[in-house]
Amino acid sequence: MKKYELFDHTADIGIEFFGRTKKELFTNAIVALKDIMIEENEIKPLQGHGKKVAVEGADTADLLVNFLREVLYLFNGKRLITVSCVMTGFAARRLTAELALVRYRPEKHTVRTELKAVTYHGLSVVKEKTRWKARVIFDV
Amino acid sequence: MYDIKLEKLDDNRWLVPQTGAMRVPGIIYASDKTAGLLAKDESARQVANVAHLPGIVNFSLAMPDIHWGYGFPIGGVAAFDLESGIISPGGVGYDINCGCRLMATDLALDNVRERIKDLTAALYRRIPAGVGSTGYVRLSGKDQQKVLAEGARWAVQAGFGSAQDLETTEDGGCLGGADPEQVSARALERGREQLGTLGSGNHFLEIEVVQEIFDERAAAAFGLRKGRIVVMIHTGSRGLGYQICDDYLALMVKHQAETGIVLPDRQLACTYLAAQRGKNYLAAMACGANYAWANRQILMHLTREVFEKALHIAPRELGMRLVYDVCHNIAKIESFHVAGVEKKLCVHRKGATRAYPAGHEAVPVLYRSVGQPVLIPGDMGAGSYVLVGQEKAMNETFGSACHGAGRLMSRSQAIKSSRGRSISRELADRGVVVMAANKGTLCEEMPEAYKNLNDVVDVVHEAGIAKKVARLKSIACIKG
């Protein structure tokens, strides 16, 4: 099953994320961000560079936005690329996760697309027949 | 996707009828040439969405460069009553005080024609551009507080430019009410190393030549002469502004239910201007605005140095001076006549510039007899326009005009249609030298990705909210 797909937005970038479960959708979204933002080749998760995060939200969609917001902050603010994610707790309005981070090095990593912020515009997280789907528009 | 029936009011304005829970109607500035584009995206729906917000005065407006944004449309203008109205971080945008700065010089095209490649390369080396670029100015905590409180004034005091530059910067390069205490540690951290950088995306520095003058009197006042070299800089508050917007957006979404305001789009998350949270946001937003003004002031100074060094000329020969600096992502408390009574309102301009007329006290003394310069850059090949604000803008658009051409294609469409082409070669054939940190940016920003600048500017001109003064042609461009 594909993990994500881009959709058109005039000024910015829209991404649809998928997962068999809601929890998987959240994990896939993090991997998708890395794929979309960074050229893959040089990335190896650094040993011992895991980061625990706890995120809250008013509902599932808000929780997803806040989770993506945290990962974007790590890149845009700290120059850390989140390469993978293990969910350690997952409830309707709160999650905890362990992120594997790699420091961004311009000489090693090419920024494919700079996602500057996650927006709430046209945001949705829905269950379809066999999968969960989220639609999110990012500011670029 | 498009369920709004627009009604044509006249040759340059379309009405978005008031339906459902809209508190006011919408008005979109568009001509027959540009109105057809509205059916292509969700921007007209966004004009209607903004009309749902409490305290909105007269109309939810959109300038002719309107296109699909998030929350507010890009090109959106909306004014709110200070007592019953709201403030929305999404209505200002992530890049707080993203704006343009135009500098005039005494150089003729012939003075730079032979050296244009070297000059562009020198600018590209000196002006940090691209994703996460960091600047030469490293701020101590104390200095950063000053930047946030004082804006371009701080930059001038620190040796970047002269006090004269402040006279022709909107608000003197410093928005009042800034309180660094309202800015998060994350935002401060992101701002620490990015002062004096261009950034990426649609930000740029362009060398242009004055190609045509439409209004001799205003052009003379602005110091624009046909055939002379000018420089346009487009950038904003970098990561600091983004983080301020994001922090307050998250906060307002979290507390939205408490306000009792029902929103058609969560990105419009807002609070009342009279509420403490609203005041805090405005104080933080002013910090973002001031950072952006300091940023553009520093970039202007670096540009001046590069020109002098690369062309081996003295400051007097170069004669580089600031024509004007406008912000186009901002919320400001300004006075307007509403039903014959002067009232203070909070005007949100999301991808729209101020366009004040002659005689207004906020117009620099130098330009008060003609009006405020309105800077409207187009795509990389098209160049830019300089307009001058008109009285009609005060009556119709809360003293506002458009801020650019407006996007037409999505970024992926642009990349698709640029496949197999060299955008930099094509631009070179049109007489524009381009250097960019990221090749993908050039494709995303290709000229066809934008609306026709002439068509967009004609709407503003014909509608009478700002009048054409000069047209500028690009000859070199650096991008992130």
Of A17-21, B60-64, B416-420, the poorest mean pLDDT is in B416-420
B50-70: average pLDDT: 96
pLDDT band at B403 (very low <50, low <70, confident <90, very high): very high
User: What is the overall mean pLDDT for chain B?
Assistant: 95
CA distance B416 to B51: 35
Name chain B contacts of A11, Cβ cutoff 8 Å.
67-69, 74, 407, 410
Contact B88/A at CB under 8 A: no
CA trace torsion B93, B96, B98, B102 (10° rounding): 150
Q: Is B403 a catalytic residue?
A: yes
Name chain B contacts of A77, Cβ cutoff 8 Å.
186, 189-190, 239, 243
Name chain B contacts of A113, Cβ cutoff 8 Å.
440
Instruction: State residue B273's pLDDT score.
Output: 98
The domain locations on chain B are: 7-86+97-479
Shortest CA distance to B351 belongs to which of B79, B71, B62?
B62
Exposure string (b/e) for B341-374, b if CB count within 10 Å is 16 or more? eeeebbbbbbbbbbbbbbebeebbeebbebbbbb
Inter-chain residue contact B408 with A73, CB threshold 8 Å: no
Shortest CA distance to A125 belongs to which of A136, A114, A110, A113?
A136
Name chain B contacts of A58, Cβ cutoff 8 Å.
253-254, 257
Say how many C-beta atoms besides its own lie within 10 A of residue B255's C-beta.
14
Angle at A73 between CA A3 and CA B180, to 5 degrees: 155
Inter-chain residue contact A120 with B245, CB threshold 8 Å: no
Instruction: State residue A48's pLDDT score.
Output: 58
Q: Is residue A46 predicted with pLDDT exceeding 80?
A: no
CA distance B303 to B320: 9
A17-42 pLDDT, tens digit each: 999 999 999 999 999 999 999 986 66
Q: Is residue B330 predicted with pLDDT exceeding 80?
A: yes
H or E element in which residue A2 lies: none
A51-93 pLDDT, tens digit each: 999 999 999 999 999 999 999 999 999 999 999 999 999 999 9
Inter-chain residue contact B242 with A9, CB threshold 8 Å: no
Name chain B contacts of A114, Cβ cutoff 8 Å.
131, 200-201
B202-223 pLDDT, tens digit each: 899 999 999 999 999 999 999 9
Inter-chain residue contact A79 with B131, CB threshold 8 Å: no
pLDDT band at A12 (very low <50, low <70, confident <90, very high): confident
Instruction: State residue B186's pLDDT score.
Output: 97
B345-354: average pLDDT: 98
Which is higher by pLDDT, B3 or B335? B335
The DSSP call for residue A72 is: H
Cβ(B105)–Cβ(B225) below 8 Å: no
For residue A120, give the nearest of B132, B245, B266 by CB distance. Answer: B266
Inter-chain residue contact A10 with B250, CB threshold 8 Å: no
% of chain B residues with pLDDT over 90: 87
Cβ(B358)–Cβ(B371) below 8 Å: yes
Instruction: State residue B412's pLDDT score.
Output: 84
CA distance B388 to B224: 13
Search chain B and give the residue with CA nearest A69. Answer: B246
Contact A12/B at CB under 8 A: yes
Measure A130 CA to nearest chain B CA, in Å.
26
A89-111: average pLDDT: 91
Which is higher by pLDDT, B249 or A41? B249
Distance of CA B363 to the CA centre of its chain: 17
Tokens coding A132: 């969960």
Of A82-86, B106-110, B185-189, B371-375, the poorest mean pLDDT is in A82-86
Candidates B70, B92, B194, B198: best to mutate against A (most CBs of A within 10 A) is: B70
Candidates A5, A7, A9, A10: best to mutate against B (most CBs of B within 10 A) is: A10
pLDDT band at B132 (very low <50, low <70, confident <90, very high): confident
Shortest CA distance to A15 belongs to which of A129, A115, A99, A96?
A115
Instruction: State residue A8's pLDDT score.
Output: 84
Q: Is residue B1 predicted with pLDDT exceeding 50?
A: no
- Residue B163 carries which side chain, given as an amino acid letter? A
Contact A13/B at CB under 8 A: yes
Q: Is residue B179 predicted with pLDDT exceeding 60?
A: yes
Neighbouring C-alpha atoms within 13 Å toward the C-beta of B440: 17
Instruction: State residue B142's pLDDT score.
Output: 92
Cβ(B231)–Cβ(B207) below 8 Å: yes
Contact A31/B at CB under 8 A: no
Instruction: State residue B145's pLDDT score.
Output: 96
Q: In residues, how long is chain B?
A: 480
DSSP string, A12-39: SEEEEEEESSHHHHHHHHHHHHHHHHB-
Name chain B contacts of A66, Cβ cutoff 8 Å.
250
Cβ(B80)–Cβ(B57) below 8 Å: yes
Search chain B and give the residue with CA nearest A56. Answer: B254
- Residue B214 carries which side chain, given as an amino acid letter? F
Shortest CA distance to B350 belongs to which of B335, B372, B324, B332?
B332
The DSSP call for residue A46 is: P
User: Is the sign of the CA dihedral B354, B299, B377, B69 positive or negative?
Assistant: negative
For the domain with range B7-86+97-479, which CATH number is right: 1.10.357.10, 3.40.190.10, 3.90.1860.10, 3.30.750.24?
Answer: 3.90.1860.10
* Partners of residue B348 on adjacent β-strands: B78, B331
Q: Is residue B320 predicted with pLDDT exceeding 60?
A: yes
Contact B39/A at CB under 8 A: no
B436-459: average pLDDT: 91
- Residue B45 carries which side chain, given as an amino acid letter? R
Contact A107/B at CB under 8 A: no
CA distance B25 to B15: 7
Is A69 in a helix, a strand, or coil? helix
Measure A87 CA to nearest chain B CA, in Å.
22
What domains, with CATH codes, occur in chain A? 4-139 (3.55.10.10)
Cβ(B204)–Cβ(B479) below 8 Å: yes
Contact A119/B at CB under 8 A: yes
pLDDT band at A108 (very low <50, low <70, confident <90, very high): confident
B237-243: average pLDDT: 97
Shortest CA distance to B80 belongs to which of B41, B113, B52?
B52
Q: Is residue A45 predicted with pLDDT exceeding 80?
A: no
Instruction: State residue B66's pLDDT score.
Output: 95
B154-171 pLDDT, tens digit each: 999 999 999 999 999 999
